[in-house]
Structure 1
Amino acid sequence: MNTTLDNAYAQLAVDIKRWGQALGFADIGITDTDLKHAEVEHQQWIDKGFHGDMDYMAKHGTKRTRPAELVPNTIRVISARLDYKPPQAKDSWQVIGDGQQAFISRYALGRDYHKVMRQKLQQLSDQIAQAVANVEYRVFTDSAPVLEVALAEKAGLGWRGKHTLLINKNHGSWFFIGEIYTNLPLPIDTPASAHCGTCTACLDICPTQAIVAPYKVDARRCISYLTIELKTAIPIALRPLIGNRVYGCDDCQLICPWNKFAQVTPEQDFHVRHGLDDITLVTCFGWSEAEFKEKMAGSAIYRIGYTQWLRNIAVGLGNAPTTPEVVQALEMRKNDASPLIQEHVMWALSQHQITHT
């Protein structure tokens, strides 16, 4: 046992956390790579088909649950948490309760978190590389086969809530997580303990009852999956349940009592852009493809593309109160070149008792 070396790595761990906070991370934790328990649960989830069309959740085999198979020589994972709750955004329940408005998940109101997180993780990795020789690392943020929540829980950043998202006792759940896989034998942190207790608020509030049991989400019913990951037609039975949620769904987080402790983000990039916190369905539906690309440049929403965006909004308009403006907006796109948009527009018109032969 090399005490001097152990002390050096202990000091490096302290430095990494200090550097991370200086970069804007709310928390940094360190863990080993043992995910045996999570591997069993993940495989059971896949076996039940709960991943839907997200083939990438299954195709990497054990690389997702065994970090060293994804990045050779990995023995530690540095897990980072970055708050995203935007300041001065319109109250979410007010938007959801107004059928003429378009509700966009709070995490997507600003710039694309992938770029922001990756840049900060890279900066942190650069500082580590300057401090110690022969370091090997790779950074991730929702971008590869990584069990982010399981790793963050082991690293002490929070616990996996019954909605399967990470919850921090002092900060709620409005945050992103990212990782640095490394070969450095850093001391590991104590895993977080769970504090959901008997609460089932997230299960009860889910509009589509996608949380089929505590800690189990059937993605095929989840509005975030339906509006973002699903590229084909949204199942007809689920369309009325989506309401005006056109990109993602925050209900399970909005109802979570731990989010009374959520912190507003200091990160300027996550502040609301283009008034997306307070915008009507009709306005969004009226955008040309060029306008969509201009307004969504640098946003996480950009990746779903214009066609899928219009598909989602057509569903929202189908669920909206019947007004001349809503009907006219739908009528304008009933002959759209995209069969996907056409189908959802015709469904929406039928919801307003308007049929076409």
Structure 2
Amino acid sequence: MSYPLDLHQLAQQIKQWGKDLGFQQVGITDTDLSAEEPRLQAWLDKQYHGEMEWMARHGMMRARPHELLPGTLRVISVRMNYLPAKAAFASTLKNPQLGYVSRYALGRDYHKVLRNRLKKLGEMIQEACGELNFRPFVDSAPLLERPLAAKAGLGWTGKHSLILNREAGSWFFLGELLIDLPLPIDAPQEEQCGRCVACMTICPTSAIVEPYVVDARRCISYLTIELEGAIPEALRPLMGNRIYGCDDCQLICPWNRYGQLSDEADFSPRAALHAPELMTLFQWDEKTFLRVTEGSAIRRIGHLRWLRNIAVALGNAPWTGEIVEVLAKRLGENPLLDEHIEWALRQQHAKRQALAIEVQPAQQKRLVRAVEKGLPRDA
């Protein structure tokens, strides 16, 4: 194949096109991830992937981009900032009456946003070359996106396993465009975490079991998003009010002092998800859940797991009779949900006993009705 443009010039043009499309950085690397294969296999052997059986099913294909698109010579790796203005981290996390949603999920589903832009980038390159095979990916195929981003010079791998960039921290999404052009590649960045282990020590569930290694089975993001069954009881109190994902390891990272805000309208927080009251969320029916989460990444966990997560957060909240009533009203809807509601009710009951709270007569009547729906008799 002959190219109408010099490949070095084309690489620079691609980076400019990428920025014009809204990516904050574009890097180019080859497809060689052979160094990652033993690390990936060791992670799988230790069962750190939990119930994400698709991680094991595709095996080493994740480290072989050329198997996803035969003929692939280069991977164009991109990043797009997502941190909204007035993210309200502290005010939400510190208020146990509110539900905390990971900041990346407050707006429109990033998969669609990035994939559409990557497709446009591929079409622009194709038009310039006259002929090109390309395929965009955004966390949608067996591909080790973080090692690729590191090789492409977008940043280095932090001890929490996320990509860090000295100008932007880690508040960004990654995406890839596989192409069959032998473009010049970019140099990786040096790791700059040094001796810092803040992300490891702050993790509520101690999921970062060693530098660069996360046991997904303990990670709150996995527990609230990927896990389909019951959340292990020992981990529930550690989740606090986090109902979808967790940002703690990013919040503590010194490099996120340089985090850049996103100006993407699609990533603007939805009011109903930004700092929502847990009791309000728990009363949503499925129709309301689907309406509010339309076009959101949250929708994929479904209404049942959404309620499961909120039940745990309500169990972790300070005792109130209203929480007990709200929880009890949903008893009997589903066995999985019942398990978490009953746990939450036990938590609430223990807190009431510890505080020796006396219940007013009017409230006592409501609690009696709740008891009749399935609460322990001494609640």
3-state secondary structure, aligned to 1:275: helix
CA distance in 2, matches of 1:208, 1:135: 46
* 1:182 aligned to which of 179, 182, 188: 179
Q: Which amino acid aligns with 1:291?
A: T
Matched residue, 2:250: 253
Q: Is the 8 A contact 2:154 2:189 kept in 1?
A: yes
The verdict on how the C-alpha distance between 1:239 and 1:23 changes in structure 2, with shifts beyond 3 A counting, is: same
* 1:349 aligned to which of 325, 340, 345: 345
Matched residue, 1:238: 235
Q: Which amino acid aligns with 2:68?
A: L
How high is the TM-score relative to the length of structure 2? Answer: 0.91
Matched residue, 1:40: 38
How high is the TM-score relative to the length of structure 1? Answer: 0.97
Q: Is the 8 A contact 2:28 2:76 kept in 1?
A: yes
Q: Check if 1:274 corresponds to 2:288.
A: no
Q: How far is 1:139 from its partner?
A: 0.4
Q: How far is 1:85 from its partner?
A: 0.1
Matched residue, 2:79: 81
Q: Check if 1:16 corresponds to 2:14.
A: yes
Matched residue, 2:353: none
3-state secondary structure, aligned to 2:272: coil
Q: Is the 8 A contact 1:20 1:28 kept in 2?
A: yes
3-state secondary structure, aligned to 1:260: helix
Matched residue, 1:200: 197
Q: Is the 8 A contact 2:4 2:128 kept in 1?
A: no
Where do residues 1-357 of structure 1 align in structure 2 (5 Å cutoff)?
Answer: 8-90=6-88, 92-336=89-333, 338-353=334-349, 355-356=375-376
What does the per-residue CA deviation read over 1:186-219, in whole Å, with 9 as the maximum and x for residues that have no partner?
0000011100000000000000000001101000
Q: How far is 1:61 from its partner?
A: 2.2
Q: Is the 8 A contact 2:4 2:129 kept in 1?
A: no
Q: Is the 8 A contact 1:274 1:295 kept in 2?
A: no
What does the per-residue CA deviation read over 1:155-199, in whole Å, with 9 as the maximum and x for residues that have no partner?
000011000001001100000000001100000000111000000
Q: What runs of 5+ residues in structure 1 fail to find an aligned partner?
A: none
CA distance in 2, matches of 1:356, 1:324: 14
Q: How far is 1:6 from its partner?
A: 11
Q: What runs of 5+ residues in structure 2 fail to find an aligned partner?
A: 351-374
CA distance in 2, matches of 1:335, 1:67: 47
CA distance in 2, matches of 1:32, 1:21: 21
Q: Which amino acid aligns with 2:80?
A: L
CA distance in 2, matches of 1:275, 1:26: 28
Q: Is the 8 A contact 1:62 1:69 kept in 2?
A: no
What does the per-residue CA deviation read over 1:88-111, in whole Å, with 9 as the maximum and x for residues that have no partner?
232x12211111110000000000
Q: How far is 1:5 from its partner?
A: 6.0
Q: Is the 8 A contact 1:36 1:65 kept in 2?
A: yes
Q: Is the 8 A contact 2:3 2:129 kept in 1?
A: no
3-state secondary structure, aligned to 2:274: coil
Question: Which of the pair has the greater relative contact order for Cα pairs under 8 Å at 6+ separation?
Answer: 1
Q: Is the 8 A contact 2:170 2:250 kept in 1?
A: yes
- When the two chains are superposed, the root-mean-square deviation of aligned CA atoms in Å is 1.4
* Alignment: residue pair count: 353
Q: Which amino acid aligns with 1:356?
A: P
The verdict on how the C-alpha distance between 1:6 and 1:204 changes in structure 2, with shifts beyond 3 A counting, is: farther
Based on CA coordinates, which of the two structures has the bigger radius of gyration? 2
347-356 vs 213-222, greater mean Cα deviation: 347-356
